[in-house]
Structures are given as structure tokens and as C-alpha cells.
Amino acid sequence: MTQKFTKTTLANGLTLLLKEIHTAPMISSWVWYRVGSRNESTGKTGISHWVEHMQFKGTPKFPANILDKAISREGGVWNAFTHLDFTTYYETMPAEKIDFALELEADRMQNSLFDPEEVASERTVIISEREGSENSPMFKLSEVTQATSFRVHPYHHKVIGDMADLESMTRDDLYEHYKSFYAPNNAIMTIAGDFETEKMLKRVKELFGGIPAAPAPRQLSRPEPESSGETHLTVEGTGDTTFVQASYPFPSATDPDFFPLSVLDSLLSGASSLNMFGGGISNKTSRLYKALVETELTVGMSGGAQATLDPYLYNIVMVIHPEREPDEALAALDTEILRIQEEKVSEKEVARAVKQAKALFAYGSESITNQAFWMGYTEIFANYEWFETYIDNLAAVSPDDVQRVAKKYFQKKSRVVGTYLPVNEENSND
């Protein structure tokens, strides 16, 4: 299996990562922009995600109805994601057809129309997307818990944005956001699959090299101050099920503590998979599953963090057993956290976490799309070396490190605990 990796930066600032993989006649191409909900201020929440939607609405060269058909016609898949730190667009195509995707991405990096009628129609689509999320109790709970965790930092709001802003933002707001952040010097292109590096590099230069760099976009710098104490909140809604979300401040992906925390995550909540494509494994032997689900305080639990640019959150979600109280589950959670803070974990447990991570990476490597994803994702918050040295960094973690970070980050006084309490109003379906 050939795997040749190249990283370069074009004169206009576009960062380019190429990885040859010749196991299947496919290529996955991604363009990443350093813009997400992290770059949004009050009044404009959700603007990055809305701009992402508008990127599918056409340019003079590729009108809206041409685009999706052209990709699908060739048997490709394409999609886009807006997240905290980034907005990304990808196409995975039969290898000989990838050129269309490259042309399209070069074009919509600067020529999207943002037609006012399309903006109006997309407004209701996005409002509908938000209404769909609001149907879920967990969305409601996590939105309030997240907002309470970040009073100052723009990680405060959900990527979809607040309804007030979705109703009031204008076409010009969207266009300005697009023009500020969509430029080669604010973008990363990652391509993996069945190509020759020299030829691909030449083609990318032809298509993207002439796009002018833009002034560096203005960055919001509003670090979250230290929490002044534990916060408890309640969200009420329909249903019969009580949910609890406990959120602890968690460091950015480039913090050296990220690796011992990843081991800790594996022990506490079960190994998290960071793969976008490739899935994960069960968590039934994790400490929290044993303390919460096996004891029937909850009927389910999950926990995990994300690799982010600024410090974000470690979220633990518990679905409370119908016959138990949320406080009982929270007390059991605290007992487990205290245990990992006071009793040193074994070398064997650390080695187990490393093997789990190895397996998850192996599964993810089967997908060319996932390989290209990793190159860009890591480049957003660090660089591809972060990915390549991840296993070694995990393997270097000692039981002392795990204990230290457990004490440092899993403190009651800095967490937010949100509870979704069902209020009983009867549906009438008879």
C-alpha cells in the first residue's frame, strides 16, 4: 500500500496537504475554512452555518441546480459541516472525476452569489433545521448547559445559532462574513486517494493559485474567565425521561494535558472515537458505566471531549433510571471521579487505552474520506503531525499524569450541571 504525504503552502497562503493512497480508484478532496461558531458575535450567531448552506446555491459559472447534479452524476458524494472552529466542504469521487470537484471548490471560494431570493428561502430551511433539533430534549439541555459554561467565549452558542439571529440576519451580513473568511490564506485543502502528487499539485496550483489572498480576518478574542463556582440549572420539557449533563472545562487539543486526558476519558467513559467516518466501540467496562448503568442509577451514559482550538468541554450525559433521582446518579459520578483522583490507575489500564486508540485509528484508515478528513481537521487546531504522533503521545502517558489531570480538570467548582426535568402534560391520542 503506497502512502506518500506532501504538505505545502501556495504563494497566496493556501495550505495544501496531499496523501497518495492507491487501494481504491477514488479521491476525497476537502477544503477547510478557519471559521465556525467560534468566530461569531451576538446578533450573528449561526452565520457560519448559514453561509455554508449558501455555498450550495451557486456561482455565475455553476448555478445551484447544476452543482448537485454534476457531483451526483459522477457517483460522487459531497457534503459540508460547520463546527466550532471550522467550516469544511468535501467531495469523494471516482478518481478520474475529481477535477470537477476541484474546479467547483476554487470557484466557490470567491464567486458565490448569495442571491437574495435564495437567502430568503434558505432562512426558512435553517429555521426548520433548528426546529427539528429543538424537538430533542438533549438538544435543549445541551444548549443551555453550553451557554452557561461559556458566558464570554463564543463557544457560548450552538453552531445552528439562535432563532432571534436566524430571523434577523440579512443577505449583506452573510455576504460580508463570506468575503471576510473565504480566502486562500484562511483555508486548508486536503486531498487523499488515487492520484500522483506532482500532477495533483500542478492542478491545484492552476485552479487555486490565482485566487488573491484577503486581509487576515478579524478574530474575536474573548477567553472564558475561570468559573467562580459550580452551577446547577434545570430545563423543563415534555416526556417521561430525566437527563443530566455535567460539563467540565477541558483544554485545547494542543495542550500537553490533552493526551493524559484522552487516557482518562477512555477509563472513565470508554474510548471516544475522533473519526468522522468509521464509528467507535462500546463503553460497558468503563468506570462510569459500571458505577451508573450497572448499578441501575441510569439506563445509559456517555462521555467525551473534542479536539478544539480553544478550551472547550468534557461532557458527561446520563439518562436517569425512571425509578431513581438525578442526585443519586450525580453522587455516584462524584464518587468515581474522586476515586480516579485519589487512587492511581495501573500501567495496564493506560496500555489498554492505547490499544483501543490504535484499533479505532485502524478502522478509520479504511476510508479514504476519513483519511482526508484527518489531515484537515488536525491542521485546524494543530497540524497533521498531531495525528501521526497521537498514539506515541498516548503511550507516553504515565499513571501519575492521569491522576494529575483528573485532579486539575474534574473539579466540582468549575463544572456546570444541567438537568432536563420532564413535566407531565398528557398527549391526547385516543
Partner 1 sequence: MTKKAYPGADDITRVELDNGITVLCRTNFNSPSIVLRGNLPAGSLYDTEEKLGISDMTASMLMRGTEQYDFQAIYDRLESVGASFGFHANTFTIGFGGRALTEDLSLLMQMLSEGLRQPTFPSEHLERLRSQHLAGLAMRDQDTGDMAELTFDEILYANHPYRHTGDGTPETIQAIMRDDVLNFHQKHYGPRDMVIAVVGAIEADDAVAQINEMLGDWQNPAQPAKATVPEMPPLEKRVQKHYAIIGKSQTDLMMGFLGPKRLDDDFMAASLGNSILGRFGLMGRIGDSVREKSGLAYYAYSSMSAGHGPGAWYVSAGVNPANVDKAIDLIIEELENFIKDGVSEEELSDNKSNYIGSLPLSLESNSGVASALLRIESYNLDLDYYRQYPDLVRAVTRDEILTVARKYIEPQRLAIATAGP
Q: Contacts with partner 1 in 325-384 (CB under 8 A)? A: 352, 355-360, 362-363, 365-368
Footprint on residues 190-229 left by partner 1 (CB under 8 A): 194
- In angstroms, rounded to a whole number, what is the distance separating the alpha carbons of residues 258 and 274? 13
Pair 87, 33: CB distance under 8 Å: yes
Written as nine digits, the cell of 337 is 471521579
299 C-beta neighbours (distance < 10 Å), count: 14
Q: Which of 219, 221, 228, 428 binds partner 1 (CB under 8 A)?
A: 428
Smaller CB separation from partner 1, 137 or 249: 137
To partner 1, the closest distance from the beta carbon of 1 in angstroms equals: 5
CB 332 within 8 A of CB 291: yes
Segment interacting with partner 1 (CB under 8 A) among 246-254, 316-324, 327-335, 394-402: 316-324
CB of 205 to partner 1, least distance (A): 27
226 vs 323, which CB is nearer to partner 1? Answer: 323
Q: Which single residue is written with the C-alpha cell 471521579?
A: 337
Using the minimum distance from each CB to partner 1, give the nearer residue, 217 or 280: 280
DSSP 8-state code for residue 294: T
The closest of 132, 117, 110 to 14, measured between CA atoms, is 110
User: Which residue number, 72 or 254, has a Cβ lying nearer to partner 1?
Assistant: 72
Among 4, 61, 69, 412, binds partner 1 (CB under 8 A): 69
Strands 298-304 and 187-193: unpaired
Burial of 115 (0-12, 13-18, 19+ CB in 10 A): middle
How many chain residues touch partner 1 (CB under 8 A)? Answer: 82
Which residues does residue 247 pair with via DSSP β-bridges, in sequence order? 315, 416
**Separation between Cα atoms, residue 251 and residue 401, nearest integer Å:** 15
Residue 244 backbone phi and psi in degrees, to 5: -125, 135
319 counts as binding partner 1 under rule CB under 8 A: yes
Site mask for partner 1 (CB under 8 A), range 134-173, x = bound: xxxx------------------------------------
By residue count, the chain amounts to 430
- Give the residues across from 5 on adjacent strands: 19
- Within 166-267, strands assigned E span 187-193, 231-237, 243-250
Q: Measured from the CB atom, is 9 or 238 closer to partner 1? A: 238
- Which span (41-49, 81-89, 295-303, 307-315) binds partner 1, by CB under 8 A? 295-303
Question: Which of residues 58 and 251 has its CB atom nearest to partner 1 in the complex?
Answer: 58
Choose which of 47, 71, 169, 397 interacts with partner 1 (CB under 8 A): 71
Alpha-carbon distances of 364 from 32, 164, 275, 396, rounded to whole Å: 20, 39, 6, 22
Q: What is the C-alpha to C-alpha distance for residues 303 and 319, in angstroms, rounded to an integer?
A: 12
The bridge status of strand 416-422 relative to strand 231-237 is parallel
Judged by CB under 8 A, the stretch of 35-43, 81-89, 274-282, 382-390 that binds partner 1 is 274-282
Closer residue to partner 1, CB minimum distance, 209 or 237: 237
242-261 binders of partner 1 (CB under 8 A): none
In terms of CB distance, is 117 or 226 closer to partner 1? 117
Kindly indicate which of the ranges 146-154, 326-334, 339-347, 422-430 contains the residues binding partner 1, using the contact rule CB under 8 A: 422-430
By CB under 8 A, name the one of 10, 17, 18, 26 that touches partner 1.
26
Report the distance separating Cα 307 and Cα 311, nearest Å: 9
Please say which residue, 154 or 303, places its beta carbon nearer to partner 1: 303
Backbone angles phi and psi of 424, in degrees to 5: -90, 100
In whole angstroms, the minimum distance from the beta carbon of 237 to partner 1 comes to 6
- Binding test (CB under 8 A) with partner 1, winner from 5, 56, 81, 175: 56
Contact 87, 51 (CB under 8 A): yes
Q: Of the two residues 239 and 256, which places its CB atom closer to partner 1 in the complex?
A: 239
Contact with partner 1 (CB under 8 A) among 153, 203, 290, 408: 290
Question: What are residue 15's phi and psi, to 5 degrees?
Answer: -85, 135
With CB under 8 A as the contact rule, the residue among 6, 64, 306, 421 that binds partner 1 is 64
Q: b/e map of 375-395 (b: 16 or more CB within 10 Å)? A: bbbbbbbbbbebbeebeebbb
Binding mask 104-133 for partner 1 (x = CB under 8 A): ----------------xxxxxxxxxxxxx-
* Binds partner 1 by CB under 8 A, chosen from 219, 221, 228, 282: 282
> Rounded to the nearest whole angstrom, what is the least distance from the CB of residue 128 to partner 1 in the complex?
4
